[in-house]
Amino acid sequence: MSARHQPSPSAWDGSIRSPAQRYLAVDGTRVKYIGPGSDDRDAAAVRTNHPVPADCPLFYFEVEITSRGRDGFIGIGFSTGDVKLDRLPGWEPHSYGYHGDDGHAFSGRGTGRAYGPTYTTGDWIGVILNRIERTITFTKKGYDLGVAFESISEERLFPSVGFRTPDEEIEANFGTDLANRPFRGDVAWIKHEAQQRLYASVLNTAVPRSAKGRSITGELVFGYLAHQGHWDTAAAVARDVLGGTVAVAQQDVQDMQMRQRISERVQAGDIDAALELTRQLAPGLLESNRRIHFRLQCQKFAEMIKAGQEAEAIEYGRTHVVPLLDAPASGSGGSSSSSVSAADRELLEDATALLAYDDPATGPTGYMLLPAHRSELAAALNRAILVHSGRSEDSALEAILRQATTALQELKRSGHPAAQLLDVQTLLQQQREPQPLGAA
């Protein structure tokens, strides 16, 4: 259930049938009370065409009092779609209102409680629905009046405004045309403040302690460094951060150096050497992972064409590359990830197309001979070797980054309001740019 692409409130809805409708003149974002206004039974309210979207973390709109009318009995706030419109917002359950005549805040009953100042002609009221903290807050002429309502649980709330006495008139701004009608309130600041509180609460999350009493971050950093092959730093971290409780395994160092040599060979276009080294480091890999084997052979085929050995290339393609397309993978019978795919067949076609050009690198499939393609193949081979030897592709630290990113994306997609204001990079960013050293 995606909450995206829900329309936002953009105008008052004058088409809702209700007994009070005849008391209001509704024109887009403007409303004027034209009823008799003798007593509370003559009250009339209007709500917007759409509710606040479910995933919206902070919704803000402004209402300017263009005329207080006779007594200024205006109420501004929110209500759900089933609240009767012959009442001021706040008088009925599931509605919330800040009233201009007494400055009181009403929710679900006819008596309010003291909240803010009264408001009248010329004043403008900002309304903030904060879904992260489940609050509604008002501002008057930009001055923050504080939280008016807490524990807001209604899912679908419409901005609403209600009237009671003749000639009361307001004009709202829902922020649908900010270029021509900017908000008067400092919305960026309001958002910033809410975001800061949200970040603070996320950073207040308790992280379980490591069972062994060691530093989780230290271990993650160590694992990352070892995974990246920064052995000296890993050794320093093991010594200084982890107090010598872990150490770099010599076998790991050797394996990684070997993988680095294999990568270098692939990037240099020397596939034979890469294949030979791969057989040494990971016996059985090329037999069980037909896909990576095929990609390497394709690359060898392409590199031979590049070297001008067309005849040998064609012979090699017939004897070594094409048979891989049909041969069953040994071992597990070939899972989807280890067998040759349609995309891989295209790779062979692209490689073969290189034959048609005097300078294969400038042909339409010349990408196969570019460093970027070779690097990608080298990285794929590296991953295949890691998986083959029972190691994970990523360090735990990278896995945590990926999981945090994925979980946050999922929350955003599911319409979680707070998640819309969070991102991983901001939490990981340096607060200030590093100062250039020795700068005057």
Partner 1 sequence: MNRVVMNFLVTEGYVDAARVFERESGTAPGVDLDQITDRMEIRKAVQSGDVEQAIERVNDLDPEILEEQQELFFHLQQQRLIELIRGGQLAEALEFAQLAEALEFAQEYLAPRGVDHPELLEELERTVALLVFEDVRASPLADLMDVAQRQKTASELNAAILASQSQEAEPKLPNLLKLLVWAQKQLDEKAVYPRVENLTSAELVEPPPADD
Q: Which residues bind partner 1 (CB under 8 A)?
A: 202-208, 210, 213, 216-217, 219-221, 224-225, 228, 230-233, 236-237, 240-241, 396-401, 403-404, 407-408, 410-411, 414, 416, 418-419, 422, 424, 427-431, 434-435, 437
The CA distance from 274 to 264, in Å, is 8
CB of 413 to partner 1, least distance (A): 10
**Nearest to partner 1 of 82, 433 (CB atom):** 433
CB of 379 to partner 1, least distance (A): 16
Q: Which amino acid is at 52?
A: V
Contacts 24+ apart (CB under 8 A), 16-25: 16/46, 16/47, 16/85, 18/44, 18/84, 18/85, 18/86, 19/86, 20/44, 20/45, 20/85, 20/86, 21/85, 23/163, 24/163
| Residues forming a β-bridge with 95 | 79
**Nearest to partner 1 of 25, 404 (CB atom):** 404
CB of 228 to partner 1, least distance (A): 7
Burial class (CB in 10 A: 0-12, 13-18, 19+), 144: middle
List C-alpha distances in Å: 176 to 47, 53, 73.
16, 14, 27
Could you count the other beta carbons within 10 Å of the beta carbon of residue 76? 27
The CA distance from 275 to 266, in Å, is 9
CB of 113 to partner 1, least distance (A): 32
Could you count the other beta carbons within 10 Å of the beta carbon of residue 190? 19
**Nearest to partner 1 of 240, 312 (CB atom):** 240
Which of 126, 165, 171 has its CA nearest to residue 146?
A: 126
The CA distance from 248 to 245, in Å, is 11
* Strand bridging mode 168-173 / 58-68: antiparallel
The CA distance from 428 to 127, in Å, is 32
**Nearest to partner 1 of 376, 410 (CB atom):** 410
